[in-house]
Amino acid sequence: MEAFLGPLYWLVDTLINLYVWVIIIQVILSWLVAFNVVNTSNRFVYLVGDFTYRLTEPALRPIRSVLPNLGGIDIAPLILILLLIVARQFLANMYASFVL
C-alpha cells in the first residue's frame, strides 16, 4: 500500500503546488494588464492570460459568488490559495498517518 500512496501523494501535492503558481501568475498578469504594463493585444500575453483564466476561473467563481463586493479588490484568489494550502496540509497528515 505504501508503494502506491507515495507516488500518489507526490503527484497530488505537485498538482496542488502547480495550481497555486497558476493562480499567482493569473493575479500578477491581471495587475499588469490593469496598470497597462502589458497589453492583451500581444498574442503571447493573450494566450497566457486566457490559459490561466480558463484554469482558475472554475475554482474562483464559486468563491466570488459567496464573497461580498469589496469594490475593486478581489480576494477570491487569496482564499483559494489558503484553501489549497490547507488541503496540502491535510493530505500530508493523512499520508503520514498511513505510512507510520
Per the structure, the count of domains in the chain is 1
Q: Is the pLDDT of residue 1 over 70?
A: no
Full-model pTM:
0.92
23-30 own/partner pairs: CB under 8 Å, 24+ apart: 23/52, 23/56, 23/77, 23/80, 23/81, 24/77, 24/81, 25/52, 26/52, 26/53, 26/55, 26/56, 26/77, 27/77
What is the three-state SS of 14-31?
Answer: HHHHHHHHHHHHHHHHHH
Domain ranges, residue 88: 2-99
Neighbours of 55 (CB within 10 A): 16
Interval 2-51: pLDDT, tens: 778 889 999 999 999 999 999 999 999 999 999 999 999 999 999 999 99
